[in-house]
Chains A and B, each alone.
Chain A
């Protein structure tokens, strides 16, 4: 069965510091991995995805994520956090074979402190 784990309910980081939001997954077959962000009172917005190729994926707003197959992880990173990055972040996975069902994590709330 597919699953996604976001082990941290909340991450606090000072503005200007690097940030990491963790995600691990379990899926049969090759994974398609996604990060979405949800700002207050707004819908989910796509940030980036890993399908194949380079393990380091760059996305919107300066975010990037690294696919690590051996650790089954897809952590979201940004070199320098902004207060405006404060939001709820979701990791999602879909198997490359079979179902078109996407499995989402429980979300991690990122709070960037000025």
Chain B
């Protein structure tokens, strides 16, 4: 079927505003990951979801960041009270299962700019 999709593709917001980023994984994929890609800093793990298990939130940089995954499918990453250092590309990836041997399929990302 279709690949991983993310929306919006670009988001410009003012400092202090809240933003929501959406990820639609590949149908049937049970694991979903969020990453942040900042210039010169590679991909930073944020959070992952696996089925109905509790998510691993260990990569979230502050309590302003949260994510949920409804019905084991669509995920939303929320950033409250955005700061300029939140500006980055936010990437979502899904895999069929988390055996570690499975390929992650990435979405095109959401470019967030905080003014």
Contacts and interface: CB of A to CB of B under 8 A. Distances in A.
B41 A42 contact: no
Nearest to B98: A100
A43 B105 CA distance: 9
A32 B109 CA distance: 24
A48 to B, nearest CB: 10
Contacts of B103: 34, 46, 49
A43 B93 CA distance: 10
Interface residues of B, number: 27
Contacts of A92: 43
> Which size class do A's interface residues fall under?
20 to 34
Contacts of B35: 104
B58 A43 contact: no
Given A43-B91, A43-B109, A106-B40, A101 B45 contact: yes
A100 B45 contact: no
A42 B55 CA distance: 27
A22 interface: no
Interface string A1-23: 00000100100000000000000
A32 B101 contact: yes
B108 A42 contact: yes
Contacts of B4: 43
Nearest to B45: A101
Contacts of A9: 40
A99 to B, nearest CB: 7
A111 interface: no
B104 interface: yes
A83 interface: no
Interface of A: 6, 9, 32, 34, 36, 42-46, 49, 51, 90, 92, 94-96, 99-107
